[in-house]
Every structure is written in C-alpha cells, then in structure tokens.
C-alpha cells in the first residue's frame, strides 16, 4: 500500500486547525454568515471535532479541525488523523494553526491513517487526502509512512502466508528496491555456518529455518539491526495454551520492525553502513524438536540450558547477535516481541528498551518525544545476572520464579555482545484497539524514534 501526499490542485480545500482557545479570535475575523454557521454546528475546537464550511452552491469552501487543549493532546497522538477520518472526500491543505514540528507529525499521522490491510478482504480507502504542508520534508514523511506500512503488513499477514521463506522474500524485495546486498543461510547450512541455536529452534518445522543478512551503504558509521523473526511460536514442546497462541503470527514483529526501519534509512539515503540480520524460524513440534533440559552450544561458545522451549526468541537472537558483534559495528540494536513481562510492566503502547550508553539514551528519548513514538528505559540490573546462570551450563534460557522476565531476557542477550554499543527493544508490535493513525493490528514501535535519533546516535 502506498501512503503518499496528494498533488496540490486548485480544488484543494483549506483546512484551519484550531485549538479551543483559538476559536473565538478566528471567528471574529470571519464574515457574519460564517460565524453563524460555525456556532450553529456547535464547533468549539474540541479535539477531533470537524466543521465543513459550505459555499453558496453547496460545495465546500473550507474546513475546520479541532485541536483541543494542550492537556488533552498529551493524552494521545496524531490528533489530525481522527479529523481526517471524519472529513468528507476531498483533497485538503492545512492553512493555519500548527507550528513546523506539529505540521510534520500531524502530516505523518494523516498518511498513517490511510493504512488498510486489504490482502484478504476489500477495505474502503480513506477519502480525505492531504497536500504536503509547506515547509515539511515530504520525502522523509513518506519514507516513514512506507516503512511503517511495511512493518504492519508483515505482522498482519498470518503465518500460513508469512513463514521464514516469505519473510526472506520480503527482505529480498526490500533489498532489490534499494540496491542492497542480501545473503541467506538456510536449513542444515546453519550448522556449518556455526549458527546452531537458530537451527535448533527451527529444525522441527517443515519450513526451514534461516538467517537473513542484508547490507547497504558504503560510508558512515556501522549500524547493525537484529530482528527476531519467529514466524509462528507454538511454544515448542512446552506448548502454549490456545489463548496464548492467538497472536503468535506477530512473533516476527521484531523482524518486521527492523525491515521497516531499514526502509526508512535506505529511502532517505542516511549516511550509515547498514546491516540487517534476521533469524527466521517457526517454533514447531515434532520428533526432532529441541527439548527442556537440553543444553545447546551457541555460536559464541556459551552453553545454554533449555528450561522452557517457549523462550526461543532469545536463542535465535543470541546467535545473530554474536555474529553481528564479530564485526564490532558502532551500534547494534535488537528488536523483538520477546517477553510477556514487558507488557505487564508498561502495557502495549510503550516500547521498553535497555541500553547502558547515556548518549544513546539522551538521543533516543529526545527523538521519541519529537516523533510521538514512546519508549521507556529499563535497567540492565547486574544483581539479576545470577538468575540466568544455571548449575550445568553458562546460561539459562528461562529462569524459574517468573520475576523480572524482561530484564533477565535482556541480560541474556547482552552476554552475546561484548565488542559493540548495544541497545535492545522488547516491543509488543500490536495495537489492541483502534486509535488515531493506528488501526487494530500490527504496528511498528520505536522505529521512528530510532530513525530520528540516528544522526546523534552514530556520533556519540
């Protein structure tokens, strides 16, 4: 799906964005007939409210969009997106009411509100289109929208049509679009390539496991993105109950997110040397599935005792992270729908992340606020290290007790990155109910914040 700005025309409809306290002053400057009409409609500038101003022939001469109060705007984001959904068909241009930062953010929200997942069912397109506001970087905004749409499409596609091979196809399509290089290691070749834990997790499925390795760019700092690509997670022999399997098509949300972020980077020509690593597997059940109490040897040489086959995401990420770290890039970022504990801690709307680099944290937090892409810092808490150290192996993939599940998973992953700056995002990748610019379903998290922070991140 293409999310793009409309071409400006003489028929573009002026859209005045008015906060509640701006409505009286705006009305005073209008003809009496307009004042009477607006008052008759009850338009007060409340957040999400719209008002159409008719001309003498019954057409639309202009439109108003309510921007509420600063306090109410803090409770949500992409406020014009809700207005766009209520406006009649037409092409609109924003005439007043927003500063430059608000214009960029609300223009992005408008584009994202046009997203529809229509692979299996016809979906009516949004009929209110937006001309790129003056002064915004329309190319950048369209790249952000396209990257987000890619992530959403991949997550929303059910596992029947989005297995490891199909995820590889999506990565190859992205590489072709941007002239990137891509290589894929599949099946038993994972063992000869010393990626044993990716193979162990995926070997029970008829859909062969693989490591996808995409590279792009020949100048600038080295950035490596690692995304969890578990295309469906039954839980393995520690099988999930049916209720917990319901959303497991989204367990490749980390892979979808890094591919969406990669598009943003490549489409805008960011000055980085990019590498994307995606361990793509299906965690299935068969006679050769890996078992509880097995001990696996990782690429890094660390041994891992398996105390729950449903904690498989950290296993495939570990091999990919070890591979990434061998190159010692300037920054490694992993993204994964890794733990239910993260959802309990911060809910579905925040993207919790782990990083010990204060420069990274400052850059990311600033960008997250500016991009309305909320994140929340979590601690690599050293006293919990002993929780991931079992008696018979170097590491435990599922510490008993249930406490601090997201933290112990992050500590586990950090053991595989020793040469590079590292940040880990334990995302949800799913919007549980409709919200402005974010329909129920798959959603990217922290990708826009990371993209916006990159210039500072790669200098710190």
Say how far apart CA 372 and CA 63 lie, in whole Å. Answer: 25
The pLDDT, as a whole number, for residue 460 is 60
The pLDDT, as a whole number, for residue 322 is 98
Is the four-CA dihedral 112, 118, 123, 124 of positive or negative sign? positive
Is the four-CA dihedral 381, 382, 384, 389 of positive or negative sign? positive
- The reply to whether 314 belongs to the active site is yes
Say how far apart CA 60 and CA 17 lie, in whole Å. Answer: 16
Annotated catalytic residue within 249, 250, 300, 314: 314
Structure tokens at 297: 């040897």
Say how far apart CA 49 and CA 63 lie, in whole Å. Answer: 11
* 379 dihedral zone (left: phi>0; alpha: psi -120 to 50; beta): beta
- Could you tell me which of 50, 53, 54, 55 has the C-alpha nearest to residue 67? 50
Say how far apart CA 296 and CA 305 lie, in whole Å. Answer: 7
HSE value, Cβ hemisphere, 13 Å, CA-based, for 373: 26
- Could you tell me which of 250, 244, 276, 252 has the C-alpha nearest to residue 263? 276
Residue 188: φ, ψ to 5°: -65, -20
Output the DSSP codes for 382-396: GGGGGGG--SSSSEE
pLDDT along the chain (460 residues), means of 10: 88 95 96 95 96 90 96 94 94 89 96 96 90 95 98 98 98 98 98 98 98 97 98 97 96 98 98 98 98 98 98 98 98 97 96 97 97 98 96 94 94 98 98 96 98 87
Output the furthest CA–CA distance in the chain (Å, rounded). Answer: 83
What is the 8-class DSSP label of residue 108?
A: H
- The reply to whether 240 belongs to the active site is yes
Say how far apart CA 133 and CA 8 lie, in whole Å. Answer: 10
The pLDDT, as a whole number, for residue 124 is 86
Say how far apart CA 444 and CA 437 lie, in whole Å. Answer: 12
Say how far apart CA 165 and CA 187 lie, in whole Å. Answer: 11
Output the DSSP codes for 331-350: EEEEEE---HHHHHHHTTT-
Say how far apart CA 163 and CA 450 lie, in whole Å. Answer: 27
What is the 8-class DSSP label of residue 181?
A: E
The pLDDT, as a whole number, for residue 96 is 75
Domains and CATH numbers, the chain: 13-127 (3.40.220.10), 142-457 (3.40.630.10)
Annotated catalytic residue within 172, 240, 343, 456: 240
- Could you tell me which of 153, 66, 73 has the C-alpha nearest to residue 372? 73
Say how far apart CA 75 and CA 27 lie, in whole Å. Answer: 27
CA 202 centroid distance within chain: 24
List C-alpha distances in Å: 140 to 8, 104, 105, 201, 353: 18, 10, 11, 38, 25
DSSP H or E stretch at residue 112: helix 100-113
- Could you tell me which of 20, 113, 68 has the C-alpha nearest to residue 437? 113
């Amino acid at each position: 799906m293409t999310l793009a700005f409309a071409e400006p025309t003489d028929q573009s409809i002026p859209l005045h964005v008015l906060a509640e306290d701006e409505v009286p002053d705006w009305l005073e400057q209008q003809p009496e007939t307009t004042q009477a009409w607006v008052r008759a409609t009850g338009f007060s500038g409340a957040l999400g409210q719209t008002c159409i101003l008719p001309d003498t022939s019954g057409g639309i001469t202009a439109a108003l969009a309510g921007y509420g109060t600063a306090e109410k705007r803090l409770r949500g984001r992409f406020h014009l997106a809700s207005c766009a959904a209520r406006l009649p068909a037409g092409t609109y241009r924003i005439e007043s009411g927003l500063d430059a930062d608000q214009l960029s953010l609300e223009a992005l929200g408008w584009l994202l509100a046009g997203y529809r997942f229509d692979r299996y069912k016809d979906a009516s397109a949004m009929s209110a289109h937006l001309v790129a506001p003056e002064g915004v970087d329309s190319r950048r905004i369209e790249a952000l929208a396209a990257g987000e749409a890619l992530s959403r499409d991949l997550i929303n596609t059910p596992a029947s049509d989005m297995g490891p091979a199909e995820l590889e196809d999506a990565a190859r399509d992205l590489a072709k679009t941007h002239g990137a290089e891509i290589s894929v290691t599949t099946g038993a070749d994972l063992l000869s390539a010393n990626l044993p834990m990716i193979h162990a997790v995926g070997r029970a499925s008829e859909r062969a496991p693989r490591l996808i390795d995409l590279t792009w760019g020949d100048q600038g700092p080295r950035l490596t993105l690692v995304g969890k690509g578990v295309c469906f997670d039954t839980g393995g022999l520690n099988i999930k109950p049916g209720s917990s399997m319901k959303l497991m098509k989204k367990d490749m949300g980390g892979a979808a997110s890094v591919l969406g972020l990669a598009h943003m980077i490549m489409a805008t020509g960011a000055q980085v040397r990019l590498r994307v690593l995606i361990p793509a597997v299906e965690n299935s059940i068969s006679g050769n599935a890996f078992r509880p109490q097995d001990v696996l040897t990782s690429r890094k040489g660390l041994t891992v005792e398996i105390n729950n086959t449903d904690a498989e995401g950290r296993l495939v990420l570990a091999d990919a992270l070890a591979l990434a770290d061998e190159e010692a890039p300037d920054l490694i970022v992993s993204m994964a729908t890794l733990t239910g504990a993260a959802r309990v801690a911060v809910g579905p709307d925040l993207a919790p992340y782990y990083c010990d680099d204060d420069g990274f944290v400052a850059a990311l937090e600033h960008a997250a606020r500016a991009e309305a892409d909320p994140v929340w810092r979590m601690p690599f808490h050293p006293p919990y290290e002993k929780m991931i150290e079992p008696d018979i192996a170097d590491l435990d993939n599922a510490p008993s007790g249930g406490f601090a599940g997201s933290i112990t998973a992050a500590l586990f992953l950090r053991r595989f990155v020793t040469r590079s700056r590292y940040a880990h995002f334990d995302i949800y990748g799913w919007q549980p109910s409709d919200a402005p610019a974010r329909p129920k379903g798959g959603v990217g998290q922290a990708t826009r914040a990371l993209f916006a922070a990159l210039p500072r991140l790669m200098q710190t």
